[in-house]
Protein backbone atom coordinates (compact mmCIF):
# COMPACT_ATOMS: atom_id res chain seq x y z
CA UNK A 1 0.00 0.00 0.00
CA UNK A 2 2.74 2.45 0.92
CA UNK A 3 5.95 2.45 -1.02
CA UNK A 4 9.40 3.47 0.27
CA UNK A 5 9.65 7.18 1.02
CA UNK A 6 5.90 7.76 1.11
CA UNK A 7 5.61 5.16 3.78
CA UNK A 8 8.43 6.70 5.75
CA UNK A 9 6.68 10.08 5.62
CA UNK A 10 3.44 8.43 6.67
CA UNK A 11 5.20 6.79 9.57
CA UNK A 12 6.82 10.03 10.70
CA UNK A 13 3.47 11.83 10.44
CA UNK A 14 1.68 9.14 12.45
CA UNK A 15 4.30 9.08 15.15
CA UNK A 16 4.30 12.88 15.31
CA UNK A 17 0.50 12.95 15.55
CA UNK A 18 0.49 10.39 18.33
CA UNK A 19 3.16 12.21 20.31
CA UNK A 20 1.66 14.93 22.52
CA UNK A 21 5.04 16.46 23.39
CA UNK A 22 6.25 19.17 20.99
CA UNK A 23 9.50 18.49 19.19
CA UNK A 24 12.65 20.25 20.28
CA UNK A 25 14.77 22.08 17.73
CA UNK A 26 18.55 22.34 17.78
CA UNK A 27 18.62 25.35 20.14
CA UNK A 28 16.47 23.49 22.63
CA UNK A 29 13.38 25.63 22.05
CA UNK A 30 10.06 23.98 21.34
CA UNK A 31 8.83 23.38 17.82
CA UNK A 32 5.05 23.08 17.68
CA UNK A 33 4.64 21.56 14.23
CA UNK A 34 1.30 23.25 13.57
CA UNK A 35 1.91 24.59 10.06
CA UNK A 36 0.63 22.77 6.99
CA UNK A 37 3.26 21.80 4.42
CA UNK A 38 3.50 24.18 1.48
CA UNK A 39 3.98 22.35 -1.80
CA UNK A 40 6.26 23.43 -4.65
CA UNK A 41 3.20 24.17 -6.80
CA UNK A 42 1.67 26.32 -4.08
CA UNK A 43 4.93 28.24 -3.71
CA UNK A 44 5.15 28.76 -7.47
CA UNK A 45 1.61 30.14 -7.52
CA UNK A 46 2.32 32.60 -4.71
CA UNK A 47 5.91 33.63 -5.26
CA UNK A 48 6.31 36.77 -7.36
CA UNK A 49 9.58 37.98 -5.81
CA UNK A 50 12.38 38.86 -8.19
CA UNK A 51 15.85 39.18 -6.70
CA UNK A 52 18.56 41.46 -8.11
CA UNK A 53 20.44 38.38 -9.36
CA UNK A 54 17.39 37.44 -11.42
CA UNK A 55 16.15 34.66 -9.17
CA UNK A 56 12.39 34.47 -9.49
CA UNK A 57 12.19 35.93 -13.00
CA UNK A 58 9.68 33.97 -15.09
CA UNK A 59 10.06 32.46 -18.54
CA UNK A 60 9.21 34.82 -21.36
CA UNK A 61 10.76 37.78 -23.17
CA UNK A 62 10.02 41.14 -24.68
CA UNK A 63 11.56 44.19 -26.33
CA UNK A 64 10.60 47.86 -26.52
CA UNK A 65 8.87 47.25 -29.86
CA UNK A 66 6.11 45.14 -28.25
CA UNK A 67 6.53 47.26 -25.14
CA UNK A 68 5.36 50.37 -26.99
CA UNK A 69 1.97 48.74 -27.57
CA UNK A 70 1.71 47.51 -23.98
CA UNK A 71 2.67 50.96 -22.72
CA UNK A 72 0.19 52.80 -24.96
CA UNK A 73 -2.63 50.45 -23.95
CA UNK A 74 -1.98 50.08 -20.22
CA UNK A 75 0.24 52.89 -18.96
CA UNK A 76 0.26 56.06 -21.07
CA UNK A 77 -3.07 57.39 -19.78
CA UNK A 78 -1.45 57.93 -16.39
CA UNK A 79 2.30 58.20 -16.94
CA UNK A 80 2.13 60.22 -20.18
CA UNK A 81 2.70 59.19 -23.80
CA UNK A 82 6.50 59.30 -23.49
CA UNK A 83 6.73 58.37 -19.80
CA UNK A 84 7.10 62.03 -18.88
CA UNK A 85 4.50 61.84 -16.11
CA UNK A 86 1.11 63.50 -15.94
CA UNK A 87 -0.38 65.44 -13.03
CA UNK A 88 -0.08 63.33 -9.88
CA UNK A 89 1.37 60.40 -11.83
CA UNK A 90 5.11 60.13 -11.70
CA UNK A 91 7.49 60.30 -14.65
CA UNK A 92 9.19 57.04 -15.60
CA UNK A 93 11.71 58.60 -17.99
CA UNK A 94 14.38 61.28 -17.70
CA UNK A 95 16.44 62.95 -15.01
CA UNK A 96 19.80 61.30 -15.65
CA UNK A 97 22.68 63.51 -14.54
CA UNK A 98 20.43 65.66 -12.33
CA UNK A 99 20.96 63.93 -8.97
CA UNK A 100 23.82 66.16 -7.85
CA UNK A 101 22.16 69.30 -9.24
CA UNK A 102 19.86 71.52 -7.21
CA UNK A 103 16.81 70.24 -9.12
CA UNK A 104 17.14 66.44 -9.09
CA UNK A 105 14.61 64.52 -11.16
CA UNK A 106 14.18 61.04 -9.72
CA UNK A 107 12.81 58.36 -12.04
CA UNK A 108 13.29 54.66 -12.75
CA UNK A 109 15.93 55.76 -15.26
CA UNK A 110 17.84 58.28 -13.17
CA UNK A 111 17.50 56.84 -9.68
CA UNK A 112 16.66 53.13 -9.41
CA UNK A 113 19.74 51.00 -8.73
CA UNK A 114 18.49 47.68 -10.12
CA UNK A 115 16.56 46.81 -13.28
CA UNK A 116 14.92 43.82 -11.61
CA UNK A 117 13.14 46.29 -9.31
CA UNK A 118 11.27 47.72 -12.31
CA UNK A 119 10.12 44.29 -13.47
CA UNK A 120 9.16 43.29 -9.95
CA UNK A 121 7.25 46.48 -9.19
CA UNK A 122 5.38 46.60 -12.50
CA UNK A 123 4.38 42.96 -12.18
CA UNK A 124 3.14 43.34 -8.61
CA UNK A 125 1.49 46.74 -8.72
CA UNK A 126 0.87 48.02 -12.27
CA UNK A 127 -1.30 48.99 -14.08
CA UNK A 128 -2.36 50.77 -10.91
CA UNK A 129 -6.10 50.03 -11.07
CA UNK A 130 -5.80 46.55 -12.63
CA UNK A 131 -2.59 44.96 -11.32
CA UNK A 132 -1.89 41.46 -12.54
CA UNK A 133 -3.38 41.79 -16.05
CA UNK A 134 -0.04 41.72 -17.87
CA UNK A 135 1.56 38.48 -19.05
CA UNK A 136 5.24 37.83 -18.30
CA UNK A 137 6.07 38.72 -21.94
CA UNK A 138 4.23 42.01 -21.56
CA UNK A 139 6.04 42.89 -18.32
CA UNK A 140 9.41 42.16 -19.99
CA UNK A 141 8.34 44.25 -22.99
CA UNK A 142 7.11 47.30 -21.08
CA UNK A 143 10.20 47.14 -18.83
CA UNK A 144 12.31 47.17 -22.01
CA UNK A 145 10.31 50.15 -23.31
CA UNK A 146 11.00 52.14 -20.12
CA UNK A 147 14.71 51.22 -20.07
CA UNK A 148 15.13 51.98 -23.78
CA UNK A 149 13.36 55.36 -23.44
CA UNK A 150 15.85 56.10 -20.67
CA UNK A 151 18.68 55.07 -23.04
CA UNK A 152 19.82 52.41 -20.58
CA UNK A 153 19.54 49.53 -23.05
CA UNK A 154 20.36 49.60 -26.75
CA UNK A 155 17.44 49.78 -29.20
CA UNK A 156 16.03 46.33 -29.91
CA UNK A 157 17.41 44.68 -26.75
CA UNK A 158 15.35 41.66 -25.79
CA UNK A 159 14.84 41.27 -22.07
CA UNK A 160 14.39 37.89 -20.49
CA UNK A 161 15.39 36.13 -17.29
CA UNK A 162 18.99 36.01 -18.46
CA UNK A 163 19.48 39.52 -19.86
CA UNK A 164 17.41 41.63 -17.43
CA UNK A 165 19.60 41.08 -14.33
CA UNK A 166 22.65 42.11 -16.40
CA UNK A 167 21.27 45.56 -17.23
CA UNK A 168 23.49 48.15 -15.60
CA UNK A 169 21.47 51.00 -14.13
CA UNK A 170 23.16 54.45 -14.22
CA UNK A 171 22.64 55.03 -10.48
CA UNK A 172 23.73 51.54 -9.45
CA UNK A 173 26.43 52.91 -7.17
CA UNK A 174 24.41 55.87 -5.94
CA UNK A 175 23.39 54.42 -2.58
CA UNK A 176 25.12 54.39 0.79
CA UNK A 177 24.29 52.50 3.97
CA UNK A 178 22.51 54.30 6.83
CA UNK A 179 25.16 56.34 8.71
CA UNK A 180 22.87 57.59 11.47
CA UNK A 181 23.10 58.94 14.09
CA UNK A 182 24.56 61.67 11.89
CA UNK A 183 23.21 64.92 13.33
CA UNK A 184 25.42 66.75 15.80
CA UNK A 185 23.79 68.24 18.88
Partner 1 sequence: MAIAAIPAAVSAEEMRTLGAARREYGERSQFERSARLFPPASSTPMTGASRSPLQDQFGIITPSALHFERHHSGVPTIDPATHELAIHGLVERPQRFTMSLLKRLPSVSRIHFIECGGNAGREHRGNSGATVQQSHGLVSCSEWTGVRLSTLLREVGLKPAARWVLAEGADASRHARSIPLAKALEDVLVAYGQNGEALRPEQGYPLRLLVPGWEGNVSVKWLHRLHVIDQPMMTRDEAASYTDLMPDGKARAFSFEMESNSVITSPSGGQQVEGRGWLEISGLAWSGRGRIEQVDVSTDGGRTWRQAELQAPVLSKAFTRFRLPWRWDGQEAVLVSRSRDETGYVQPTREAIVAARGMKEGPDGFNHYNGMKPWKITREGMVTHV
User: Which residues form the interface with partner 1 (CB under 8 A)?
Assistant: 25, 27, 29, 31-38, 42-43, 46-53, 87-89, 99-101, 104, 106, 108, 111-114, 116-117, 120-121, 124-125, 128-129, 131, 174-185
Print the binding letters for residues 69-108 with ligand HEC: x by CB under 6 A, - otherwise. -----xx-xxx---------xx-x--------------xx
Q: Given the complex with partner 1, which of 154 and 183 has the nearer CB atom?
A: 183
What CA–CA distance (Å, rounded) separates 92 from 84?
A: 6
Q: Given the complex with ligand HEC, which of 75 and 152 has the nearer CB atom?
A: 75
CA angle 54, 58, 61 (to 5 degrees): 95
- For residues 78 and 71, the answer to whether their CB atoms sit within 8 Å is no
Rounded to the nearest 10 degrees, the angle between the axes of helix 115-125 and helix 136-149 is: 130
What CA–CA distance (Å, rounded) separates 112 from 159?
A: 17
User: Which residues sit at the interface with ligand HEC, rule CB under 6 A?
Assistant: 74-75, 77-79, 89-90, 92, 107-108, 118, 121-122, 126-129, 134, 142
Amino acid sequence: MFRGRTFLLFLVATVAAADPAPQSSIDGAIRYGLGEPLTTDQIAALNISVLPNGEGLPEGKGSAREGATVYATHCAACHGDEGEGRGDFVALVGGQGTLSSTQPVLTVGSYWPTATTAFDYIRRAMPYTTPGVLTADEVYAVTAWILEKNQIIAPGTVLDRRTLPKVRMPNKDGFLPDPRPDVAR
